[in-house]
Amino acid sequence: MGEPQQVKFPQEVIDEYAALGVDLRALFSAGHLGTRMGVQITEASAERVVGTMPVEGNTQPYGLLHGGASAVLAETLGSVGSMLHGGVSKIAVGVDLNCTHHRGVRSGLVTGVATPVHRGRSTATYEIVITDEADKRVCTARLTCLLRDVRPGDAEKAAG
């Protein structure tokens, strides 16, 4: 669960952030909550973000994947896509998340794939489809993020 992530970024994105001295893997990680839940981002671009999360350790009292855990995976993936869409001058802030839970999962890994529904100047909306290891849909989510201008001190807050 605590292993380093190997996120795949488009080369132009790597170059853009490297010129600013920004560590992409740290900036676009799942954060402290995602790390505790075992979220691993495996692919990231503004067009598609993919990540996994183990069911074990993320269940509700009946032994099923907790709906809140699916929401964490969905918001993480949609936020990464929104940040990549916004670019280095924007911060993505989630303003609306809805999740429809289709089926329960008791074990294994779930995989989420976030794809854009809308990518504008001030907002970005992503659909996130979460599936089990048999490729059966577990959850469908939609996240809308506000894209606000970066303010002085935002990088220090993100790093802390």
Residue 76 to residues 14, 62, 93, 115: CA-CA distances in angstroms? 19, 25, 11, 13
Please spell the DSSP secondary structure of 128-146, one letter per residue.
EEEE-TT--EEEEEEEEEE
**Is-catalytic flag, 75?**
yes
Looking at 3, 16, 56, 75, which residue is catalytic?
75
Going across the sheet that includes 90-101, the strands are 40-44, 49-54, 109-119, 123-131, 137-149, 90-101
Are the CB atoms for 35 and 29 separated by under 8 Å? yes
**Which residues are the active-site residues?**
75
